[in-house]
Chain A
Amino acid sequence: MKSAIRTRRPLALAVAALVGLPLAISGCGTTASASSTDAVKEISVMDYYNNEPDKSFIGDALTACGTKAGVTIKRETVPGKSLISKVLQQSSSKTLPDVLMLDNPDLQQIAATGALAPLSDFNISTADFAPGVLSAGTYKDKVYGLAPTVNTIALFYNKDILAKAGVTPPTTWDELKAAATKLTSGEQYGLAFNANPTYEGTWQFLPVMWSNGGDEKNIDTPETAQALQLWTDLVKDGSVSSSALNWTQADVKDQFMAGKAAMMVNGPWQIPALDKKTTLQYGVVKIPVRDASQTAVAPLGGEVWTVPQTGNKAHQAKAAEVVACMNSDENQLAMAKVRNTIPSKTSLAAKFATDNPKLATFTDLIKTARARTGELGEGWPAQATKIYTAIQTALTGKASPADALKQAQGQ
């Protein structure tokens, strides 16, 4: 009997060890936090530029800024879709990085949680930034994030196809409709945009909605209904494929590159892909407005850099230096050029546009571009959902544009 007990003891130990193992592993994680009194040698950075070439462009700029601030950069890149869940996870486990990149419409959502430090705490200058860029980075009158470069969307057109059909790039909705109809034949559609049931569908609709005086606070207005009527007409008369209901912006680019769409609504980040096809000659104009007297208002895109509240003042100070450096004039110009984006300081716009004619239209649009969260802040996701719901309802013919907007607003 004694021997039986003795053989059982190792088993019991093994059981105890197995139970203890997860505790031991989780215990290891807590030893990482450094004391704030030491000189800061390394700061952590998290962003979602996980694909080349952006990954290297941003990485090089970060490394250079780190060297300037006397720290090494420990960078983590995560896929765009999982960034927010990762940030939320880290904010509950108090393991936020020293420098955090956020997509601009998410900034207010995260700032509202109290996880970010206002940049005024570190005396970072916000002078010269385009108003849209600042409003995207502002939550309750304090700036929490700055974007070195930004982007927006415009109308790309295939020069050869338009020339062959004798069509000039449209500037008004009527011209757009006429051009799109004329350019539609056989397997070729006149225009491609995306109207999918995600925020991307909302984003592509904003230029026509905003330029016509529509407002996200209340989408049940005649101005927004007119804009949605335009989208609906284009799909209904067949100048835009009904596949737009399921396309992403990348799909739209593919259609345009394959010559299956003569024009498309898209952003400058597609330029490297478009330039790879040397036979493709394209131009870029602003997205048409209903009346020639209206100003084109484009939605602002781009990523802001922030300093999270990590509780470590020394680290935060270094992080702020890096954020300021990323937003310096030289970095804005350099990154905008290689990444096909637009410097966010208006003082740099004129020079940039002359140096980069391909991006001139976008540069011009940024001056008046609006941030999606400018009016509603944390309320934007809910309203953006209503907008794409209304678009889908109208484009599938389930309700007229006006009714679709009314239904969605009432939800």
Chain B
Amino acid sequence: MSLTTDLSQAKSRANQRAKARAKSGSDNAQARETSPSPRRRSRKRRERLFQWLFLVPAVTYMALLFGYPVVKNIVMSFQDYTTATFFTGEAPWVGLANYAKVLSSSLFSTSLVNTALFTLGSILGQFVIGLALAIFFQRKFPLNGILRSLLLLPWLLPLIVSSAVWRWILDKDSGALNRFLGELHIVNTGVPWLTSTSLALIAVVGVNIWIGIPFNLTILYGGLQEIPDELYEAGSLDGATGWKAFRHITWPMLRPVVSVVLVLGVVYTLKVLDIILGLTNGGPANSTQTIATQSYDLSFHEFKFGEGAALGNVLVVISLVFAVLYLRASRRSVDE
């Protein structure tokens, strides 16, 4: 009973609407252009909805794999987060106590200086050698391709493997490097590469340079390939060859690539962990201890997860500074 009345009511309403539409359609064509019809509006809304749906996977991915860890780490750094927390879920709020403890520790300044030296040394070495090799491989000579792919090897090896091998190479008594230097009569006694407080950081930086060269070489080589030959031809007519060609053609053209390589390099190097743990464990006497290794130590060896997180956040902030620098630099180069 009620169903039939509803149906008839709906029918009459639909009729009225159809009439109204026909009327507006005939005498109001202009208005239709400017204000969208309900049908159009719903289509637009649906399009909007689809746009959002396409964003969902990316947003979910970012929220789960980037947002959650970052937020969790920040929250953790303000908590007394211990092994018990994992079982009970209780982590008392301690405010800035973790930061105060970590930043006032006598080890922090050592780690900070080591991190700076490690990053600076690694980046400088990787970049200079990588650029030199990239320019070298610009020339055409036999076996160029094979040699270039062989140079990628350090990049392909798992870091644990390369650090184990280097640990053996750099050993004081039976290491290959000292044997080699001994045969050449450069040194008489074993050089304690990894066990002297003054040499260990240099040795670790050296190994990290070796690992970083392929990355620098590959990206810079790609950048060099992009520079049109005509520029060099025109330059040589004006007398710009050799160093001058590099200074006035290669370098300015390569600058955007250089800034990418440097900033990514800094961010990658700041967080280096496995190589240092594999080579020296932060020793001897903390001389290769960086913020990354110290943070790892606090969290996973001393189980002070709150302090480890606080130190980790300090590292994130330092990385962010470089990321912002990069964004500004890349914006400027686009403007140019």
- Chain A residues in 8 Å Cβ range of B304: 382
Q: Closest residue to A5 on the B side, CB-wise?
A: B46
Contact in complex: A243, B173 (CB < 8 Å): yes
Contact in complex: A91, B86 (CB < 8 Å): yes
Q: Closest residue to A394 on the B side, CB-wise?
A: B285
For the complex, is A141 an interface residue (Cβ under 8 Å from B)? no
Contact in complex: A19, B284 (CB < 8 Å): no
For the complex, is A260 an interface residue (Cβ under 8 Å from B)? yes
Contact in complex: B54, A15 (CB < 8 Å): yes
Contact in complex: A187, B173 (CB < 8 Å): yes
- Chain B residues in 8 Å Cβ range of A189: 173
Q: A19-B60, A113-B88, A385-B301 are in contact. Are A396 and B46 (CB under 8 A)?
A: no
Interface stretch of the complex, out of A148-156, A192-200, A296-304: A192-200
Contact in complex: B83, A15 (CB < 8 Å): no
In whole Å, how far is B200's beta carbon from the nearest beta carbon of chain A? 9
Q: How far is the CA of A260 from the CA of B304 in the complex (A)?
A: 40
Contact in complex: A92, B86 (CB < 8 Å): yes
For the complex, is B43 an interface residue (Cβ under 8 Å from A)? yes
In whole Å, how far is B336's beta carbon from the nearest beta carbon of chain A? 39
Q: Closest residue to A110 on the B side, CB-wise?
A: B83
Contact in complex: A385, B283 (CB < 8 Å): no
For the complex, is A294 an interface residue (Cβ under 8 Å from B)? no
Q: How far is the CA of A392 from the CA of B286 in the complex (A)?
A: 8
- Chain B residues in 8 Å Cβ range of A393: 285
Q: How far is the CA of A85 from the CA of B308 in the complex (A)?
A: 14
Q: How far is the CA of A113 from the CA of B83 in the complex (A)?
A: 6
Interface residues of B: mostly helix, strand, loop or mixed?
A: loop
- Chain A residues in 8 Å Cβ range of B53: 12, 15-16
Contact in complex: B303, A109 (CB < 8 Å): yes
Contact in complex: A398, B197 (CB < 8 Å): yes
Contact in complex: A92, B283 (CB < 8 Å): no
Q: How far is the CA of A91 from the CA of B90 in the complex (A)?
A: 13
Q: How far is the CA of A89 from the CA of B87 in the complex (A)?
A: 9
Q: How far is the CA of A91 from the CA of B83 in the complex (A)?
A: 9
B250-290 vs A, CB cutoff 8 Å, 1 = contact: the mask equals 00000000000000000000000000000011111111000
For the complex, is B96 an interface residue (Cβ under 8 Å from A)? no
Contact in complex: A396, B285 (CB < 8 Å): yes
For the complex, is A18 an interface residue (Cβ under 8 Å from B)? yes
Contact in complex: A260, B84 (CB < 8 Å): no
Q: A112-B84, A196-B283, A197-B284 are in contact. Are A242 and B192 (CB under 8 A)?
A: yes
Q: How far is the CA of A92 from the CA of B84 in the complex (A)?
A: 9
A197 CB contact (under 8 Å) in B87, B89, B282: B282
Contact in complex: A243, B83 (CB < 8 Å): no
Q: How far is the CA of A48 from the CA of B224 in the complex (A)?
A: 51
In whole Å, how far is A219's beta carbon from the nearest beta carbon of chain B? 16
In whole Å, how far is A205's beta carbon from the nearest beta carbon of chain B? 14
Q: How far is the CA of A199 from the CA of B283 in the complex (A)?
A: 13
User: Taking each of A85, A198, A385, A392, which has the highest tally of chain B beta carbons within 10 Å of its own beta carbon?
Assistant: A392
Q: How far is the CA of A143 from the CA of B297 in the complex (A)?
A: 29
Q: How far is the CA of A15 from the CA of B51 in the complex (A)?
A: 11
Contact in complex: A92, B106 (CB < 8 Å): no
Contact in complex: B84, A411 (CB < 8 Å): no
Give the A-binding residues of B (Cβ under 8 A).
43, 46, 50, 53-54, 56-57, 60, 64, 82-89, 105-107, 167, 171-174, 192, 194-197, 280-287, 297, 300-304
Offer 9 A-B interface pairs, CB within 8 angstroms, sorted by A.
Answer: A18-B57, A19-B57, A115-B87, A199-B301, A245-B195, A246-B195, A260-B173, A396-B195, A396-B287
Give the B-binding residues of A (Cβ under 8 A).
1, 5, 8, 11-12, 15-16, 18-19, 22, 84-85, 88-89, 91-92, 109-110, 112-115, 187, 189, 196-199, 241-246, 258, 260, 378, 381-382, 385, 389, 392-393, 395-396, 398, 411
